[in-house]
Amino acid sequence: MNGIGNKKAVDRTVVCLMVVNQPNVLARIASLIGRRSFNISTITASETNIPGITKITVVVSGDDENILYQIIAQMEKLEPVKSAYVLDVNTSVYRELLLIKIAANKRERTELREIVEIYRGKIIGLTNDNMIVELTGSPKKIDGFMKMVREFDIIEVSRTGITGMERESNVVDQ
């Protein structure tokens, strides 16, 4: 089992599902995970390049690897699920989007601009008293940025949650 970050392997696991795009699929999957005492840290869903197929990426945390594999096996049995698999941390790419609004006077904006540049973010909104920053990257990069700006007055944070894919492709039968 491969987790993400520096945590033990079973602590956080990224599971991808390719599903038929229909009502209640996401709710059924979330319920299946919750009933087995696994917590969903993040969940993302979006249409794919295959018409009618949605990719769901779920980051779960729990301490029983066997139960996790039972959950995945049960997911695969659901009619709308075409495939379900764990992303291997060594062969996968993970990304997340952060939008953050930070209170910033004229003096603070210069320091914040430097931090944003170091992390290769973008300032996408600016007023006399705040700025909105957009940052994409690995969860570790996003967490690092959040630590750097925590000394400022953070007004609002919106994180998309983790999405990912293997460097080698999993093919979904149509």
- Reported as a single tens digit per residue, the pLDDT across 137-169 is 999 999 999 999 999 999 999 999 999 989 876
93-163, superfamily in CATH? ACT-like. Chain A, domain 2 (3.30.70.1150)
Domain range summary for the chain, segments of one domain joined by +: 13-86, 93-163
125: pLDDT confidence band, cut at 50, 70 and 90? Answer: very high
> Model confidence over 35-82: pLDDT tens digits?
887 889 899 999 999 999 999 999 988 767 888 888 899 899 999 999
Task: Examine the pLDDT at 123 and tell me if it is beyond 90.
Answer: yes
pLDDT at position 47 is 94
13-86, superfamily in CATH? ACT domain (3.30.70.260)
CB 26 within 8 A of CB 51: no
pLDDT at position 10 is 44
Phi, psi (rounded to 5 degrees) for 50 = -95, 115
CB 83 within 8 A of CB 15: no
Which one, of 6, 166, 163, lies nearest residue 97 by Cα?
163
Which one, of 96, 99, 92, lies nearest residue 137 by Cα?
96
pLDDT at position 157 is 98
pLDDT at position 111 is 95
CB 102 within 8 A of CB 149: yes
Question: pTM value?
Answer: 0.80
